[in-house]
Structure 1
Amino acid sequence: MIIPTRFRTALVFLFDVGAIFVAWLGAFFIRFNFEWPVGWDKTIIAGLPLLLLVQIVACRWAGLYRGMWMFASLPDLKRVLTAVLASTVALLVFAFLEREYAALPRSILLLYPLLLLLIMGGGRAAWRMWKEHRLYGGGTGRGTPVVVVGAGTAGAMLVRELGRSTEWHVVALVDDDPAKWGLELSGCRVEGGSDKLVEVLGTWGARHVILAIPSAKADVLRRISETASKAGAALFTVPGLSELMSGRVAVNMMRPVKIEDLLGRESVRIDNQNIQSMLTGKHILVTGAGGSIGSELCRQLARFSPARLILVESSEFALYSIEQWFSENRPEIAIVPLAGDVKDAIRMNEIFSSWRPSVVFHAAAYKHVPLMEVGNAWQAVRNNVLGTLNVAQAAAHHGVERFVLISTDKAVNPTNVMGATKRMAEMMCEVLHCQGGETRFQMVRFGNVLGSTGSVIPKFHAQIARGGPVTVTHPDITRYFMSIPEAAQLVLQAAAMGKGGEVFVLDMGEPVRIADLARNMIRLSGFSEEEIPVEFTGLRPGEKLYEELLADSEETLETPHAKLRIARSRPVPEGFFEENQAWLAQTGPVSDGDVRAHLQRWMPEYLPFKC
C-alpha cells in the first residue's frame, strides 16, 4: 500500500512530537532514579509547550521533513542535530531568564538533548534498517558470493552498494595494505593481502572477483587476473576514477576486465581548443568512413560540431552502418553518406566539387599484410598509393585547408607490400606539399589498433569461442597496440598542430608479445591454457617479428604533446612523382614480382619477405 506524502510527513511530525514528550519526561526520570519527580510537576508541564513550539520551528527550519526515512543518512542526522541544538539553546535561555526554572537540575539540560537526539536519530536509522531488511533480505546468504579486491574508498562504496543487491553477496575483501587486515567494511572482513585471494575464494566457495581499485595499473590487473584464473574465478572491475568523479556511472556498474585493461594504455588528453578552431563549423570529409579507424574518427569529429560530415566509403554495408550510428546517436550532425572508391579519380573530383570540404582525413586503405602480399600486390598499390594520390590531388585542386593521411608503422623499413605502399603514399603527399598551394599535407603513423577489423584480438576471440586452439605465428613476435578512440584523438591532435609536410609518430608505449596477449585473452575468457592451447604456426608472408615507428635514417622532433613526435624522413628522390604517376596510370595487370621490384627501386629500405 502506498501512503500519501502528506500523511507520511504527518506521521513523522507526530513521531518527533512524541520524541519531545519522551525525552523531556525521560530526562527527569533518569535524574530522579526512575521515580516520579515530586514537586516538579508544574515545571514539567509548563516546559512542554515551550519545547514543542521551539522544536517544531527548529525542525521546519532545519528541513527535517525533506528527507526520506528509508534513505536516512548523515545529512539527515545533521538536520536532527541542528533541530536538537536549537531546542537546547531555547531551554538554556528560558532557564536563565525564568526564575522558576533557575533551580532546574543541570543534568536535565544534558539528558534532554541527548535523549531527544537518540530517539529522533535512532528512530530514523531503525526505520531504514528495517526497510532494507524487508527489501534486500537481511544481508546474508543471498546472491552470488563475490570477493572484493581493494578496501579503500571505492571498495567501501562498492560493498555498501552491493549490500542492497539481490544479485551479488560480498563474502570477504582482500587488500595489500596490512593496516586494513582484520578490519571490516559493512560487516565484511578484510581477510588479508591479494596473495590470499585463492585461499579466500576457496574458503567461501566464491567464483567471482571484483577489483575495486579504479586507479589500478596494468601490472596489478595482470597479477590479480592470473591469481583469479588459477582459482577458476571470473574477474570484474569497477569504472575508472574519471567516470566515477564525473557522475556518469555508479561504482556498482561493474564490467568484466578486458584485454585493453591489461595493456595499460593511459587515457589521452588533447587540446580541445585548437582542434575546435580547426573543425567547428567546417565541412569535413573522411574516406574509409565505415572502417575501424574511419568510423571512430567520424564519432570523434562529431564532438566538435562540424557544419557537415562527408562520409566516403566503398563498402555499402560499412557506409550504411556508420550512417545508422549517426541517425541513432547524433541526429543533430549533418552527414552526407557517399559511396565512392578512392581509385576513381572522377568520383573523387565530383565529391570535392559538390561539397567543398575544408579538412580531409584519408583513412581508406588496404591494410591486411598477408592478403596484400600474394596475388594482390598491384591492387594494394592502386588502393593505397593511387587512391591516396587521387584524393590528395582533388584536395589540392579544390583548395582544401588540411589533408591528413592515416599511415602505419609498417611503412618503416617495410618488409611487405602493404607497408611499402603506405610509405610510397607518404612520399606522394610530401611531394604535393613541397609543390606549394593552399593545402597542408600531413601524415600520421601508428601501430595496431585494438579491436580494429582484421586485427588479432577479434581473431583470438573467435578462436576462443570455437574452443581453440589460439594461433600465433611466432613465440617472440611483438606489436604495438593502442585503442581505437586513442588513435582517433591523437590523429585530430596531430592535424591541429601540423604546419604541413610532417610525418607524425604516435607514442605507442611498450610493444606487446602476441603470445602473452593470447594467453591473457584465454584467461580473461575463463579458460586455462590446458583447455585452450596456444599454437605457433610460423611467420606469414611479409610479417616482421617486431614493428618500428621510425626508420633508421629518420630523426624525431618533440611536439607540445607528450604522445606525438615528428619524424624527419629522408628527402624524396628526384623524378619520383612524375615516374610513379605514370606507373600508376597503367591499366594492365602487374605481377607481384614487378610490383616489389618497382617499390624497392624507390625505397632501398624495403626488404621484401622471402616466401
Structure 2
Amino acid sequence: MVRRIDLIPGPLKLMIVLAYDLFAICSAFFLSYFIRVGFEGIHISWSEMAVFSTVTLCTLVLFYTFDMYSSIVRYFNAKAFLKVQSLLIVTTVIFYLSGIVFGAFVPRSVPIVFLVLTSVMIPGARALVGIIVHEKWFNEREGVVIYGASNAGRQLVHTLSLGNKYQPLAFIDEKKRYQGRTVLGLKIFPHFKVNHLIRKYGQFKVLIAIPQVDPIRLKQIVSSLEPYALELLIVPSMSDIVSGKRTIDEFREVSVDELLGRKAVEPIPELLSANINDKIVMVSGAGGSIGKELCRQIAHHKPRKLILLDVSEAFLYEIHQELTEFLSETRNDLIVEPLIGNVQNGMLMKHIFHKYQVQTIYHAAAYKHVPMVEHNVIAGVTNNVLGTSEIAQAAIFCEVETFVLISTDKAVRPTNVMGATKRLAELVLQALAKQNHSTRFVMVRFGNVLGSSGSVVPLFKKQIKKGGPITITHPDIIRYFMTIPEAAQLVLQAGAMGSGGDVFVLDMGKPVKIIDLAYKMTHLMGLTIKDQLNPNGDIEIKFSGLRPGEKLYEELLIDDNAKKTQHKRILSANERSLPWNEVKKIISDLNDAMRQEDVPKIKQILIEAHLGYQPNPSSILKPKNKADLITDQELESSICNAVQS
C-alpha cells in the first residue's frame, strides 16, 4: 500500500524541513528576547543581528553535518531526540559566546529560554510528524489489539510501528498488576473488556503474543475471544524467532492442531520405535495425508532404510523432496527410496519386499472419500480389498515381520461402500493372521483427521475465505476428530502391540457437532454466521442433505467389549472374524462380479459378507447411547472454545 506521505518528492520534503527549522530558530530567537525583556525592551542592532545570523547558520550546519536531514522524520525516536537535543545545547553555547564576541546585548537567561523553545519546536515537531504518520492521517493501517503485554507483546509493538500494515490499539492481559496501566502509549485491558474495545475501535484483529503458549492455555484464550467474532492471529514460537526462521510479525492463524482444543497425549517412546529403529520400513500410500505424516514420524526414529510407495508420481515427489530437505538439514544419513507402484500388483510387491528386505509395512494406500468410492465401486473394491489382499500375501511370502493396516471408523457397521471395503480388508488380515507364517498383522482404526485431504476443516476455510456459503450435509451430523501427527504417532505405537490379527482402536475423545465447528471457525476468522438470530451476518450455512452412504454419526467399535492396552488412548477391539476359506470365497465372488462390471452384484456380495454393511438405511441412524454424545455444555467448553490452518 502506497502512503500519501510517500508521494511527496524527496527534495521537496528536505525544503519543507529546512524552511521549518529556519522558522523555528527565528521564532525561538526573538521570542527568547521577548520573554526576557518584553516588547519595549527589544533593541535590535547590527551586533544582535550578527548573533542571530551566527546562531541560525551554525544550527543548520550542525544539523546537516550530523545527518539530521538525511534521516526519515516519521521514524523519529528517543535516540534521534537525544541527538537533536545535544546539537541544540551546542547551539545554545554558540549563542552565548557569539554575544560576547560581537558585544551584543545577550542576557544570560536568553540562551536558556532559546534552548527550551527550540527543544519544543524542533524535535517536538518531528515527533508529532511521526505520531501523525503512524496513526491514520497519512497512512490507513489496520487496527490490532495485542494479547499479552509481556516482552513479546512489547517487542511486537516496536516491530509494528516500523511497518505500514497494523496499528496497535491496546493490550489485553490477564495479569492484574498490568491492567489499567499504560505501556508504550497503549493501555492494558483485562480480557472481559473486549466489548468496550469493540465499541471504541470497531472490529479489529487480535494478535496473540505469547510465543510459548501451552495448548490448554491457548484453548482458554481462544475460549474468551471466540464469541466476539474477532480474527485471531498468533506470533511464531520463540524457537523460530531466535533461530531466524521467522520474525515476530509473521503471524499465523489458529492452526488445525489447536482446533482440537486439548493437549495430545504423550507417546510411549519404546512403542514408537519398536518396529522402526534399525529396520527397513515401507509406507504404502506414502504421498497421502496420513502416509506423509507416518513418513515424517518414522524418519525421526532412525530406521535403516525408508521405502516410499505410491501410485501417484506427483504425491511421491512431494514427500520425497520434503524428507530429503529434512534429512539434509538434520544431517541424517537415512536412505529413502521413492517407488512408484500399485499395491494391487502382487508380483511387484514381492519383488520390492525381496529386493529391499522389508521388515515393517504401514499400509496406508486406500481410497477413503465416501462419495468418490460410492460412485466408483469397482475401483474402491479393487484398491481397498484386492490391493490389501495382494500386498498382505506378498508380505507373508517374503517373511515381512510386521504389517500394519490403517483402517477407519467407517468400517464399523458400514453404510457405504468405502466402509464396507475397509471392513473386508480388516477381515482379510484377520483371516491371514491365523495362517502358519511369521508375519504379524495389526489393524488400527480411527476417525476423521483434521487437515487431511478431504477433511472438513480445509474445506470450511476455503468456503469462508470465498465469502461462503459453508456447506454441511445435515445440522445434526457429528464426527470424531484428531490431528494428523497425533493419529500417526498412535498408529506407530499400536503397530508395536498385539500378537497378530489385532484390531486397535484409537480413543478420539467425544465427537464434535460439525455445525458448531463451522460457527467457531467463522468467528475465529473475524466473521459471523448469517442465520435467524443474525440476519446481517457474513457467511451463510447451507444444508445439502446426507450423501449416499453417509451416517449422522460414526462408531469406533462393533462390540462394546474393548480391552485396555499399555497406552491409555489405545484400545484393543475383540470382534468376530472369518476363516480364510470364507474370505477367499468372498474375494473370488467379487473378482467375478468385477470382471462382469456388475456393480449391484458387488454390493450384494458385500451385504452378504457378514460385514454389517447396510446401504441406504431406511431411517437416519442415531447413536445407541445418548451418553456417548458430547453434551451442549461440553461442546461449549471444548471445541466451541478452541477452534482455528
| TM-score normalized by the length of structure 1 | 0.70
2:275 aligned to which of 275, 278, 284? 278
Distance 1:185 1:465, change over 3 A: closer
Change (3 A) 1:537 1:145: closer
Structure-to-structure mapping, 1:260-339, within 5 angstroms: 260-331=257-328, 332-339=333-340
SS in 2 for 1:312: strand
Quote the Cα distance in structure 2 between the aligned partners of 1:485 and 1:194.
32
Q: How far did residue 198 of structure 1 move?
A: 3.0
Tell me which residue corresponds to 1:494: 494
Corresponding residue of 2:348 = 347
The one-character-per-residue Cα deviations of 1:178-228 (angstroms, maximum 9, x if unpaired) are 56532345554322x32321321442467221234523253641441231x
Deviation at 1:430, TM superposition (A): 1.0
Distance 1:513 1:240 in 2: 31
Amino acid at match of 1:396: I
Equivalent positions of 1:579-598 (< 5 A) are: 579-586=585-592, 588-598=595-605
Please say if residues 586 and 609 of structure 2, whose CA atoms lie closer than 8 Å, have aligned partners that are also in contact.
no
Specify the alignment match of 1:255 in structure 2: 252
Q: Which shows bigger deviation, 262-271 or 410-419?
A: 262-271
What is the correspondence of 1:50-69 to structure 2 with a 5 Å cutoff?
none
- Alignment match of 2:169 (pick from 164, 168, 171): 171
**Separation in structure 1 between the aligned mates of residue 428 and residue 240 of structure 2, nearest angstrom:** 43
Q: Secondary structure at the match of 1:576?
A: helix
Q: Alignment partner for residue 146 of structure 2, among 142, 145, 148?
A: 148
3-state DSSP of counterpart to 1:561: coil
SS in 1 for 2:349: helix
Q: How many residues align?
A: 471
Q: Which residue matches 2:413?
A: 413
CA distance in 1, matches of 2:224, 2:582: 52
Taking only the aligned residue pairs, the percentage that are identical comes to 42
Q: What's the offset of the Cα at 1:424?
A: 0.9
Report the Cα offset of residue 259 of structure 1.
Answer: 4.8
What's the secondary structure of 2:441's corresponding residue?
A: strand
Asked if the contact 1:474/1:538 (under 8 Å) is kept, the reply is: yes
> What's the counterpart of residue 583 of structure 2?
577
How far residue 429 of structure 1 moved from its aligned partner, in angstroms, is 0.8
Instruction: Indicate if the aligned counterparts of 1:573 and 1:602 stay in contact, CA closer than 8 A.
Output: no
The separation in 2 between residues aligned to 1:150 and 1:161, in whole angstroms, is 10
Deviation at 1:576, TM superposition (A): 2.1
Report the RMSD for the aligned CA atoms in angstroms: 3.2
Letter in structure 1 aligned against 2:610: M
| Structure 2 letter corresponding to 1:595 | I
* Mapping 1:463-542, distance limit 5 Å: 463-529=463-529, 530-542=537-549
Contact 2:147-2:153 at 8 Å conserved across structures: no
In structure 2, stretches of 5+ residues that fail to align are: 1-76, 78-122, 136-140, 530-536, 619-645
Provide TM-score, normalisation by structure 2. 0.67
Aligned residue type for 1:341? N
Aligned equivalents of 1:251 and 1:497: distance in 2? 43
1:354-365 paired onto structure 2 within 5 Å = 354-365=355-366
Taking the aligned partners of 1:170 and 1:472, their CA distance within structure 2 comes to 37
Q: Deviation digits for residues 440-471 of structure 1, max 9, x if unmatched?
A: 11011111111211222232233334332111
SS state at 1:361 partner: strand
Relative to structure 1, is the Cα distance of residues 594 and 206 closer, same or farther in structure 2, using a 3 angstrom cutoff?
closer
CA separation of 1:170 and 1:526: change in aligned 2, threshold 3 A: closer
- Residues of 1 paired with 2:132 and 2:156: CA distance? 12
Residue 348 of structure 1 aligns with an amino acid whose one-letter code is M
Label 1:578 to 1:160 Cα distance change in 2 as closer, same or farther (>3 A). Answer: closer
In structure 2, what is the Cα distance between the partners aligned to 1:486 and 1:590?
A: 40
CA contact (8 A) 1:293 1:484 kept: yes
CA contact (8 A) 1:361 1:403 kept: yes
Deviation at 1:161, TM superposition (A): 4.4
CA contact (8 A) 1:541 1:610 kept: no
Distance 1:432 1:201 in 2: 64
2:566 counterpart letter in structure 1: P
1:549 corresponds in structure 2 to: 556
- Assess if the C-alpha contact under 8 Å between 1:226 and 1:523 holds in 2: yes
CA separation in 1, counterparts of 2:253 and 2:462?
18
> Relative contact order, CA 8 A, sep 6+: which one is greater?
2
Measured in 1, the distance between the counterparts of 2:290 and 2:260 equals: 19
CA distance in structure 1 between the partners assigned to 2:472 and 2:538 by the alignment: 16
Distance across 2 between alignment mates of 1:243 and 1:274: 29
Displacement, 1:314? 0.9
Secondary structure (helix, strand or coil) at the match of 1:497 reads coil
Matched with 2:459 is 459
Q: What's 1:449 paired with?
A: 449
SS of equivalent residue, structure 1 residue 545: coil
Note if contact 1:480-1:547 (Cα within 8 Å) is conserved in structure 2. Answer: yes
Structure 1 residues 159 and 510, CA gap change in structure 2 (3 angstroms): farther
Q: Which residue of 1 aligns with 2:187?
A: 189
Matches within 5 A, 1:120-159: 141=134, 145-150=143-148, 155-159=150-154
SS at match of 1:394: helix
Aligned AA (2:306): L
Which whole-Å CA distance do the structure 2 matches of 1:164 and 1:324 have between them?
34
Task: Give the aligned residue type for 1:524.
Answer: L
Equivalence for 1:369: 370
In the alignment, which residue of structure 1 is the partner of 2:630? none
8 A Cα contact 2:478 2:514, kept in partner: yes
Q: Which deviations, in whole Å up to 9, do the C-alpha atoms of 1:300-324 show, x marking residues without a partner?
A: 1111122211111111211222222
SS in 1 for 2:475: coil
- Structure 1 pair 518–164 and aligned structure 2 pair: CA distance change class (3 A): closer
What amino acid does structure 1 have at the position aligned with 2:508? Answer: M
Q: 1:507 to 1:219 in 2, by over 3 A?
A: farther
Amino acid in the other structure paired with 1:605? G
- Alpha-carbon distance, 1:248 to partner: 8.7
How is 1:390-409 mapped onto 2 (pairs within 5 angstroms)? 390-409=390-409
Deviation per CA, 1:362-417: give whole Å up to 9, x if none.
0000111122223x223211111111111111111111111000000001111111
CA contact (8 A) 2:471 2:541 kept: yes
Q: CA deviation at 1:518?
A: 2.2
C-alpha contact 1:369 1:542 (8 A) present in aligned 2: yes
SS state at 1:387 partner: helix
CA contact (8 A) 1:209 1:234 kept: yes
CA contact (8 A) 2:370 2:550 kept: yes
Of residues 557, 560, 567 in structure 1, which corresponds to 2:566? 560
Q: Deviations over 1:345-377 (max 9, x none)?
A: 122122112212000000000111122223x22
| Shift of residue 164, structure 1, vs aligned partner | 4.5
1:309 maps to amino acid: L
Q: Relative to 1, partners in 2 of residues 1:411 and 1:242: Cα closer, same or farther, differing over 3 Å? A: farther
Q: Could you list the per-position Cα deviations for residues 57-114 of structure 1 after superposition, in whole angstroms to 9, with x for gaps in the alignment?
A: xxxxxxxxxxxxx9xxxxxxxxxxxxxxxxxxxxxxxxxxxxxxxxxxxxxxxxxxxx
Contact 1:162 1:252 (8 Å CA) reproduced: no
Query: Once the two structures are superposed, what CA deviation does each residue of 1:539-585 show, in whole Å capped at 9, x if it has no partner?
Result: 0000000111111x242111222221111112325742331242344
Residue 364 of structure 1 aligns to a residue in which SS? Answer: coil
Q: Is the 8 A contact 1:158 1:252 kept in 2?
A: no
Work out whether residues 554 and 570 of structure 1, in 8 Å CA contact, stay in contact via their aligned partners in 2. no
